[in-house]
Amino acid sequence: MAMSVTRSLLVATGLLLTVLPALPVVGQEATERSTPPAVATDEIVRQLQEIIKELRALRADVRSLRTPPAPPAPARVSLGDAPVLGKPEARLGIVEFADFQCPYCKRFHNDTFSRIKTTFIDSGKARYWFRNFPLEGVHPEARQAALVAVCAWRKDLFWPVYSALFDHQTELAADAYREIARSVGLDSAALLECIGSPEASSRLKEDVTVAERAGVAGTPHFLLGRVEGDQLTNIAVLSGAQPFDAFAAALERLAPNQ
């Protein structure tokens, strides 16, 4: 699908660049034109129609990318050692896989996360785990931001940094990481040193491996299920920046008394 979008964009751009030189220049004498005006106008109309056709195809491709089909749910997933919210006795679980530079992840954080936290996590109904899945080929700062989150987790400050990274999404860079560190009480020099450590890279690789084994291909991506020891079972999948009602319905179906 990505190749199709790219191809459509290139074709449309190429046609536009072909048309532009044919447009008449203001003040230019008709005798200087190498093509008779009527012929040039007909050709411009034809090529503009081609551009419109290609752009419509591109728009359809982009729409399909916004709501990709969710991959099949894995039978079970190891919860492992990851940032978690909620009471240990909660019998339902949610695992989020996210990229801090992903606009749809930010939309979920802004529009839905706090309501999930209030309704299900703080009430003791569910626990909430987070795993990094930086889309490095699309978002150039995603890996670095994920490493910041890993290092904050090692200092027991993951959740405030989780929110701060989304709040600063449009300005993610070294200066923003220093500011985030100061805002949550982290030593910024120590944070930047941790980002470059092999230990942080290894921990991030573990997150990515868990995501890939679970069939995650894009972000945000969620696994919802029942917590059995250190495993998530009876898994349902939600993909994309889903509204609160989608999570509520899935968790209701998964409730132990159902």
Structure-block tokens of residue 206: 């573990």
* Stated pTM of the model: 0.72
Instruction: Assess if CATH 3.40.50.360 describes domain 76-254.
Output: no
User: Minimal CA–CA distance to 223: which of 93, 98, 80?
Assistant: 93
**Mean local confidence (pLDDT), 76-87:** 93
Task: List C-alpha distances in Å: 179 to 61, 145, 188, 189, 221.
Answer: 38, 13, 8, 11, 28
pLDDT beyond 70 at 119: yes
- Of 188 and 47, more confident: 188
User: Minimal CA–CA distance to 11: which of 45, 48, 55?
Assistant: 55
- Count CB neighbours of 215 within 10 A: 15
Give burial (CB, 10 Å; 0-12/13-18/19+) of 17: exposed
What is the phi-psi region of residue 46: left when phi exceeds 0, alpha when psi lies from -120 to 50, beta otherwise?
Answer: alpha
Q: Does residue 250 contact residue 236 with C-beta atoms inside 8 Å?
A: yes
Q: Give the pLDDT score at 48.
A: 80
pLDDT beyond 80 at 160: yes
Q: Give the pLDDT score at 192.
A: 87
Name the pLDDT band for 15 (thresholds 50, 70, 90).
very low
Q: Give the pLDDT score at 68.
A: 52
Peptide bond into 220 cis (omega under 30): yes
H helices of the chain, where? Answer: 2-19, 37-66, 103-108, 114-116, 142-154, 158-167, 174-184, 188-195, 198-213, 244-254
Q: Give the pLDDT score at 42.
A: 78
Structure-block tokens of residue 236: 């349902």
pLDDT beyond 90 at 72: no
Percent of the chain with pLDDT over 90: 67
Name the pLDDT band for 64 (thresholds 50, 70, 90).
very low
Name the pLDDT band for 100 (thresholds 50, 70, 90).
very high
Query: CB under 8 Å to 41, separation ≥6 — which residues?
Result: none
**Largest pairwise CA distance in the chain:** 85
pLDDT beyond 50 at 11: no
Q: Give the pLDDT score at 47.
A: 79
Name the pLDDT band for 28 (thresholds 50, 70, 90).
very low
What is the phi-psi region of residue 80: left when phi exceeds 0, alpha when psi lies from -120 to 50, beta otherwise?
Answer: left
Domain ranges (residues) in the chain: 2-66, 76-254
